[in-house]
Amino acid sequence: MANENISTEPDWTNPDDVKEILTSRMSRNGASDAEIQRKAILVLDVGKTMTETLAHFFFEKSDGSIREAFGTRKKTLIEKLIKGNPVPKKKNPWQQTRGGDDNLRYYDLTRHDWRCCCPERIISIDKAFNEL
């Protein structure tokens, strides 16, 4: 069966990939192994949710403000969203956002465009969102 998710590196559902990225990024700031492990569980949860459906999550932007995000990485869902959006885009909607290769890229449902966030800046995911 063909992978219907965005095929970019890293795999945000793979614990080894996520832990490696977070260890690299968070250990520079003195994070403990326990802090990295807690963040890895959260990032895996967000990554898995966006791979399967829509995710409602929160992260800290680089300016310190908090962004509430509604996003997905599920290709078939993104295709439906793009088809239903009559606003023409100047760029290819599949074009990825700028940022490092280890930023979490997702299709933002409020902006109807790609965004990314630093995985270590994810604060929480709204688990009840998909239960509605």
* pLDDT tier for residue 26 given thresholds of 50, 70 and 90: very high
Residue 11 backbone phi and psi in degrees, to 5 = -90, 110
Predicted TM-score (pTM) of the model is: 0.82
In whole angstroms, give the CA distance from residue 70 to residue 56: 5
The 10s digit of each residue's pLDDT in 103-123 is: 998 999 998 888 999 999 999
- Indicate the residue type of 86: P
In whole angstroms, give the CA distance from residue 121 to residue 18: 13
Domain ranges of the chain: 15-131
- Indicate the residue type of 104: L
Give the H or E element holding residue 72: strand 66-72
DSSP state of 105: E
The 10s digit of each residue's pLDDT in 27-61 is: 999 999 999 999 999 999 999 999 999 999 999 99
